[in-house]
Structure formats: C-alpha cells, structure tokens
Amino acid sequence: MKQLRATLDFILYSNIFIGICAVALTFTNQLTIEGDIQFDESCWFVLFATIFTYSYLKFHNSESTIPSTSHRYWALKYNQLAKNILLLSLLIAVCFFFQLKMKTEIMVAVLAAFTALYGFIDIPFTNPKRKLRDFGLLKTFFVAVVWSVTTAIVPLENSFVEPYMLVFLLMRRFLFVLALTMVFEIKDMKNDEGYGLKTLPLIFGVSNTKLIAQLTLFVLMLINLVQYFFFDISLMNMLAVNLSLLVSIFCIQTLREDTSELWYYFVLDGMMILQFVFVYIATKYLG
C-alpha cells in the first residue's frame, strides 16, 4: 500500500500527471479532426513543456506564491529528484521546440513570454512588484488561454484545419479549461485571501463559483450541439464530449471548501483524460 501511494505521489507531484492531461487534450483534437492519434514532436513538446512549467511554478519559492503546498513538501522531501525532473523536462522541451515549424515556434515563444510574466517575472512598472498570477480574476482567464493555444493549435501544426473548425476547437478548449480553473480557485481560497487576491470564490462564494463553472460547461454543451447540427462534427464526437462535460458538472457539484486536494488533482484534472477516453471510444468503436 505504501509503495502504491509513493507511486501515485510521484506521478502527481512530479507534474507528470498534468503533463499527461495536456497530451490527452491534444489527442482529443486530433481525433476530432483526423480520426486518429499521432504522437509527434508537438505532443512531446506539450508534455515536457507542461511538466517544466508546472514544476517551476509549484516549486519556485517567492513572496507571491503559496508558501506551503503538497507539491512543495514533496519537492523538499525529494529535493534532488525534483530538481532533476525540472532540468530534464526543460532540456527535452527545448529539444522538441526546435523541431516545430517556425510559425509554431513564434507562437510558443509569445506564450512563453506571457507565462514568464504570469509566474516567473514581475510585470514592469508595477509598484509593488506583481506577477500576472497575482491578479485573481485575470489569472483564471490567462490559464485557459494558454492551455487552449498549447493543446489546440500547437499539436495541429501539421494538419489542415478549416478556420471555423479551429475557432470551434479553441472555444471548446477555452471554456472547458476555464470552468476547471474556476473551481480550482476554491482549493486556494485561504492562501489567496491571505495575499489579498480577488478570485471568483472570494468574490462570489463557493456555491456561486461552482454554479458559474457548471453554467460554463452547460453553454459548451449547447455550442457542441450547434456545431453538430450546423457544422462538421460527428454525432458520436458530440455525444462523447457532452457526456464528459456532464461528468465534470457532477464532479464540480461535490466540491466543498474542505475537499481534499487529491480530488482536484486526480479527479478534476482527470476530466481531461476522461474526455479523451470518451472521444477515443466514440471514434474508434462507435463512429
């Protein structure tokens, strides 16, 4: 039992799990566009870039970040391992970055610059010094935008996608990640309040934040229906995605202020993997 828990802790706190979640979202789009999965250099880049970014954000010690989290406790306990993961993921991400097309590299570089301002570098001309993540409401939308571009556009660099379909994929990814990010703020309420951040749960309360996130997913379900009836998306794909959204709505409903963070990291983040699994089954066996 201890070995199993140690393995789960490693997968979670090393940020390998969130990296797998990012790749799962890229696979979902590949299945939607091409009906198949291709684990190419862009997917490898998404995997290791996600691991590096989350590792640095969670392990980096600064005044504007949470002083004590399970991720940081794990990194402190396995300090050398955490440093090795951080360095290795950076090196591999850089290697695959230079295998991307030029236009994709430029887009990734722009995202990297904004991500640096989000969690690494203070915004110029601000007093006191602040990062983008210190603006409570802004960071929620920022995370959704970065995830949308990273998992919807970057992996499709070798595919021809109609502009309207690309807009739809971006919208679908943005609203999905936005809803998950909203409820993640519930987990950080005490720390955010201590730093004077104005996040959704602190402004509207836990129940209203859950409702806003659920309504966001419901709107996304309606968008999927419109896409099926008026544009080019299969019935099975629409049903698979909407079913995963219904499961996400249910999981959000169960959240409380004292909900274990493992529920957030494994279950809520796991909704990304679940959506991929549903779409894969629908495409390969029911389509």
Q: Which of 240, 253, 244 is closest to 274 using CA atoms?
A: 244
* Average pLDDT score, the chain: 86
Q: 80-135 pLDDT, tens per residue? A: 999 999 999 999 999 999 999 898 889 888 888 777 666 555 555 556 666 666 66
Residue 132: the pLDDT is 60
Question: Which CATH number is 2-286's, of 1.10.600, 1.10.3470, 3.90.25, 3.40.220?
Answer: 1.10.600
Q: Is the pLDDT of residue 207 over 50?
A: yes
Token pair of 187, please? 């987990």
Q: Name 3's Cβ contacts closer than 8 Å, sequence gap at least 6.
A: none
Q: What is the DSSP string of 126-161?
A: -SS---GGGSHHHHHHHHHHHHHHHHHTGGGTTS--
Q: Which of 281, 269, 184 is closest to 12 using CA atoms?
A: 269
Q: 40-93 pLDDT, tens per residue? A: 899 999 999 999 999 887 776 544 444 457 777 888 888 899 999 999 999 999
Q: Name 17's Cβ contacts closer than 8 Å, sequence gap at least 6.
A: 11, 265, 266, 269
Q: Which amino acid is at 138?
A: L
What is the 3 state secondary structure string of 65-112? Answer: CCCCCHHHHHHHHCHHHHHHHHHHHHHHHHHHHCCCCHHHHHHHHHHH
Q: 18-35 pLDDT, tens per residue? A: 999 999 999 999 999 888
Mean pLDDT for the stretch of residues 154-169: 83
CB-based contact 76:135 (threshold 8 Å)? no
CB-based contact 221:239 (threshold 8 Å)? no
How many Å is the Cα radius of gyration of the chain? 19
Place of tokens 């894969």: 280
Q: For 66, left (φ over 0), alpha (ψ -120 to 50), or beta?
A: beta
Burial letters for 98-131: b for 16+ Cβ neighbours within 10 Å, e otherwise? eebeeebbebbeebbeebebbbbeeeeeeeeeeb
Domain edges within the chain: 2-286
Rounded Cα distance between 93 and 95, Å, is 5
Residue 64: the pLDDT is 44
Provide the sign of the torsion angle of the four alpha carbons 237, 172, 259, 205, taken in this order: negative
